[in-house]
Structures are given as C-alpha cells and as structure tokens.
Amino acid sequence: MPDKIKINYLGQEVEATVVEVTQASEVWNHYLIDDGSVIKIKLVLTKVLRLEGKFDDEGNPVYLVRSTNVVSVKSPDNLRRHIA
C-alpha cells in the first residue's frame, strides 16, 4: 500500500500519495557559455507525490516532485585557479 502524507498545497492541507519511480532516464544538459566553460546539469528526482483530489486544467492529477540538481563545470585553464 502506498504511503500517504499530509502536505500544505496553496494554503490547504492536502493528502498526498508517495509514488515510486519505476524507470528513469536522467540525462545531462550541456551548456557552452561565452567564457568557454561547459556547464553540465541534470535533475535527479528524489520523491514524487500525487495530490489526492487535485487536477490540472486538462484533468490530469497534480504531482509534486522533490529533486536535486547535479552540476559539473569544466572551464578553460585561464579561468581556473591553479592549486599547487
């Protein structure tokens, strides 16, 4: 049986069901910025909650996701602090 918790959503106490992720594909997004650095970012879900009785304008259930961002930076030598 799924875990149920109470959360505050738009000023209301709402029951939410913890929904397990059964498959994931967490890809890196790559950004080349004008100083020559490459920033890589990916979002990693840590928890998914389905709000009971709440639906969007298209009739889909409302989900809240908890996540963290993983960031990696590779900069040109002229921007790096060189550690002895």
Query: For the chain, which residues make up each domain, given as ranges?
Result: 4-79
Identify the pLDDT of residue 55. 96
Beta strands in the chain (DSSP E): 4-9, 12-19, 29-32, 38-55, 61-74
Q: State the Cα–Cα distance between residues 71 and 69, nearest whole angstrom.
A: 6
Output the CA–CA distances (angstroms, integers) from residue 78 to 30, 36, 74, in the order listed. Answer: 21, 10, 12
Read off the tokens for 49.
Answer: 């909650």
pLDDT tens, the chain, 84 aa long: 568 999 999 999 999 999 999 999 999 999 999 999 999 999 999 999 999 999 999 999 999 999 999 999 999 999 999 887
23 SS3 class: coil
pTM (2 decimals)?
0.74
pLDDT of amino acid 1? 58
